[in-house]
């Protein structure tokens, strides 16, 4: 019984510690997102199907995308792309979507 109590306390502490990171990485409608996929190239059709534009690919796993449509995030998830985070939170896109760097 004591082991379960310790495990529950550790799990609660982990959730408490990760909550700020989860909030910082939560995508906002109308902002650029980073999609972490098993294969970035295979995620491109799903981004386009969801109504987004691919901004860049970084490495094998990261696809940066944008859509001003507020339904873009739910459509990405419906297309099977579940790990979607705010692009700024992972050091992603810092442009105004016309290619001009933002401060």
Burial class from Cβ neighbours inside 10 Å (0-12, 13-18, 19+) for residue 50 reads buried
Q: Report, in angstroms and rounded to the nearest whole number, the Rg of the chain calculated over CA atoms.
A: 17
**pLDDT tens-digit readout, 42-101:** 999 999 999 999 998 888 888 999 999 989 999 999 998 888 888 876 665 554 554 444
pTM of the complete model beyond 0.85: no
Burial class from Cβ neighbours inside 10 Å (0-12, 13-18, 19+) for residue 76 reads buried
Q: Which domains does the chain have, with CATH numbers?
A: 26-90 (3.30.70)
pLDDT of residue 71: 92
């Amino acid at each position: 019984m004591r082991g379960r109590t310790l495990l529950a306390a550790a799990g609660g502490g982990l959730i408490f510690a990760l909550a700020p990171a989860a909030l910082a990485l939560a995508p906002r409608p109308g902002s650029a997102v980073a999609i972490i996929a098993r294969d970035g190239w295979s995620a491109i059709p799903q981004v386009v199907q969801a109504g987004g534009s691919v901004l860049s690919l970084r490495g094998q796993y990261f696809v940066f995308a944008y859509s001003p449509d507020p339904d873009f995030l739910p459509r990405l998830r419906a297309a099977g792309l579940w790990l979607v985070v705010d692009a700024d939170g992972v050091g992603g896109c810092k442009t105004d979507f016309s290619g001009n760097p933002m401060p």
